[in-house]
């Protein structure tokens, strides 16, 4: 993955973590005209609804260290995209900062500027704490336990049902004493983990 794509992935990851539910983040979407000719490619496009208002914004990323700070011409291009595609907002993200005069021009055109340095997509989610947690609780209910010992002899645990032990919890070990013709013993019942 080249550095430009890494920057796009990083920015998209941050946005996905911070956006409320119901917003959609798409990356590298090609835009075509009526004749099916590609007229643009959006690095990161975000759509969603806030109240009764539909929002759609574009985030464009630039990672060109050898070319220095992002120039004014890039902001002019993004301003044109904002108008042409009727975007609610456009954000310009650069890994090298912005050239002299860009900040004032971007403010006039309503383009938000961001600079990103020394970050990796894999580390970003840890910046914001827990984003999502899935919890599984697997239980079961044992009505009867019978263990076949061999020679047509089995050990039934009739008191299991009334023992007050919740049956079938994965990873639980139950211990039951028993007495049969050949003697007495201790039965261990282990409920396997189901992961």
Mean pLDDT of 84-88: 93
pLDDT at residue 116, rounded to an integer:
84
169-187 pLDDT per residue, tens: 555 555 656 555 566 665 5
Mean pLDDT of 71-80: 95
pLDDT band at 53 (very low <50, low <70, confident <90, very high): confident
pLDDT at residue 160, rounded to an integer:
47
pTM of the model: 0.60
pLDDT band at 192 (very low <50, low <70, confident <90, very high): low
114-138 pLDDT per residue, tens: 988 765 555 555 555 544 555 555 5
Structural domains of the chain sorted by starting position, each given as residue range(s) with its CATH number in brackets: 3-128 (3.40.1350.10), 146-190 (no CATH)
Angle at 72 between CA 71 and CA 77, to 5 degrees: 105
> Does the pLDDT at position 87 exceed 50?
yes
Spacing of C-alpha 184 from chain mean position: 55
Mean pLDDT of 1-15: 80
> Does the pLDDT at position 98 exceed 90?
yes
Mean pLDDT of 69-80: 95
């Amino acid at each position: 993955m080249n550095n430009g794509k890494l920057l796009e992935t990083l920015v998209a990851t941050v946005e996905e973590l911070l956006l409320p539910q119901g917003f959609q983040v798409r990356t590298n979407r090609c835009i075509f005209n009526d004749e099916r000719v590609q007229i643009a490619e959006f690095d990161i496009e975000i759509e969603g609804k806030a109240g009764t208002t539909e929002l759609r914004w574009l985030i464009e990323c630039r990672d060109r260290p050898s070319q220095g700070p992002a120039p004014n011409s890039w902001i002019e291009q993004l301003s044109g995209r904002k108008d042409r595609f009727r975007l609610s907002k456009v954000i310009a993200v650069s890994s090298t900062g912005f050239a002299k005069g860009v900040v004032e021009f971007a403010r006039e055109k309503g383009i938000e500027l961001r600079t990103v340095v020394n970050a990796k997509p894999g580390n970003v989610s840890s910046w914001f704490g827990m984003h999502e947690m899935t919890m599984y609780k697997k239980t079961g209910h044992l009505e009867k336990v019978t263990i076949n010992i061999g020679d047509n002899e089995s050990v039934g645990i009739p008191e299991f049902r009334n023992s007050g032990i919740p049956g079938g919890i994965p990873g639980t070990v139950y211990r039951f004493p028993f007495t049969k013709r050949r003697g007495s013993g201790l039965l261990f019942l282990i409920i396997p983990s189901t992961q």
